[in-house]
Each structure stands twice: as C-alpha cells, then as structure tokens.
Structure 1
Amino acid sequence: MNPPLMTPATHIRLARPSLDLRAAQHFYTAGLNLSVLYHHDSVGEEASLLMLGVRGAAWHLELTHLATHPLLPTLTEDDLLVLYLGRPVEPSVLQHLTQCGGTRVPALNPYWDRYGVTIQDPDGYRLVLCHREWTI
C-alpha cells in the first residue's frame, strides 16, 4: 500500500494574482499580522511575488503580479480564505483591517455572517474571520 499523499505536515501554498502587491502586503502584514516569508520584485518578464504567512506554519499565501501581463483577479463572492479564530472578533480589529485597506462586506452565505465577519482585501478577495473553532 502506498503512503498517504497528504499528511498533517504537508505544506500548502494558496497562490493568486494581485493587482497591487504593496496594498495587499500592507493589508495582510499590518492588518492581519502575517509575516513576509519571501518577496521578489519583477525583473523583465519575471513575476513579482509575495509570500505571506506565519513563520513555521505548514501553509502560506502567495500573491503574484506580472507587470507586462497583469492578471485581473477572477474571484467570486464565495471564494473565501477562512480563519477559525475560536473567539469573537474585536471591533478594534475590524477597524484596523479597514484602515489597512480592507472593506467589511456581507457574506454571500449567511452562515459566515452568523459565525464570523467577512472582510474584502484590496484585490477583492474575501477573508472570513470565523468565531468558531475548527473541530474536525
């Protein structure tokens, strides 16, 4: 039998295009307190890229931008990055995320309004700060 393809230690990269890496970096680092794990500015045809996350975690968020061929993010209202915080979100956190370039928006699925708060980042991607804990 083959070993499992995925394990709890499998590293995950969520990659997506950004129209403004500086705005996205400010939102996620100043607003959400993620660290810049790697940053590379574009030279010629090469893509600029920004990797954000929590140091030592088995995941990171990668944002890319190609100046000669920028990709418009093709997101929907139900493309979500959900963070299970296990506690209510303080109003000051929401205010801070807004000051860092986010916009509070209603969720497409009412579940997320019942159990969290949805913030749209500078590129239009939606981040849900969920009150619940992940228990599965």
Structure 2
Amino acid sequence: MPLDTRSHIRIARPSRDLAAAERFWVEGLGLGVVWRTGGGGEPGGHELLMVGWPDADWHLELVHEPGPVEPRPTEEDLLVIYVDGPVPDDVVARLEQHGGKRVLSPNPYWNEWGITVEDPDGYRLVLCRRGWSNS
C-alpha cells in the first residue's frame, strides 16, 4: 500500500490514568473508543486506549505502563483540531466538566485563534476557529 492522503495516522503517548483520559476525550470531546486492552496481569503488560472519530484518518492511542514511563508534556505538546468556525461553548464546558483545564498558550497565535484545554495528563488540546488544508 502506498503512503498517501488516506494513510492512517496514530498519535501515541503515555497516560497516568486511562479512566480520566477516557472521560476527557470521549465524554468531553466526543471521540469514540476505537479499541482498548487491559494489562492482562502479565509482567510488563500495559493498558491501551485508542480513541477517535469513526471514518477519521487518525486516532489517539493512550498507553498506561506499569513501569517508569511518565507523561512529560510541555506547553508546546499540542493536538490541534481545526474547527473552521466558532468553537462551541458547550464542548469547552464538557471538556472542563470531564477533567480538562482551560489554559492560556505561550504562543499568542493559539490565544487569538483558538481555545487551549489541558487534558488530565497535562497535554494540550487546541480547538482552533480557523480551517486548514495542506493543499
């Protein structure tokens, strides 16, 4: 299969608490659970949660390791979703009700054009009022 515009993208990162992450991404933002697995009790096993929208060409994979892997997000670790219009107030409220925290960005561009919300692991989601196309 060639690499092209339909190649699926997985964005993977660690999570301290998959239940809290699921509340934020699923109940807050409205993504669906694509797949999950538990640690199964085996040594070195990890829990995995994949979330995304049906028919999207990407999904977010959140992994909880029983070992020393800890999330270390910075203010520039962003997942940006281009809304191409006003960011719905009810979505921001749901994100906050489900463990998110609205924050200012150190980059004034995101403060002007979007709303930044930290997820329970400290990673940042930007809902941008602008649209985007690579073409």
Compute the TM-score of the two structures, normalised by the length of structure 1.
0.92
Q: CA deviation at 1:79?
A: 0.8
CA RMSD of aligned residues (A): 1.4
Q: Separation in 1 of the partners of 2:131 and 2:107?
A: 18
Fraction of identical pairs, as percent: 48
Cross-structure match for 1:116 = 114
Q: Separation in 2 of the partners of 1:7 and 1:128?
A: 26
Q: Separation in 1 of the partners of 2:68 and 2:129?
A: 35
Alignment of 1:67-82 (within 5 A): 67=66, 69-82=67-80
3-state SS of the aligned residue for 1:112? helix
3-state SS of the aligned residue for 2:21? helix
Is this contact kept in 2: 1:19–1:70, CA < 8 A? no
Cross-structure match for 2:63 = 64
Cross-structure match for 2:48 = 49
Is this contact kept in 2: 1:40–1:50, CA < 8 A? yes
Cross-structure match for 1:135 = 133
Q: 2:94 aligned to 87, 90, 96, which one?
A: 96
3-state SS of the aligned residue for 2:80? strand
For these two proteins, the number of residue pairs brought into alignment is 132
3-state SS of the aligned residue for 2:75? coil
Q: 2:85 aligned to 87, 91, 98, which one?
A: 87
3-state SS of the aligned residue for 1:101? coil
Moved runs in structure 1, 4+ residues, more than 6 A?
Answer: none
Q: Which runs of 5 or more residues in structure 1 are unaligned?
A: none
Cross-structure match for 1:25 = 22
Cross-structure match for 1:106 = 104
Q: Which moved more, 1:39-48 or 1:126-135?
A: 39-48
Compute the TM-score of the two structures, normalised by the length of structure 2.
0.93
Q: CA deviation at 1:72?
A: 1.2
Q: Give a deviation string over 1:81-112, Cα, whole Å, max 9, x none.
A: 00000111122221111001000000110100
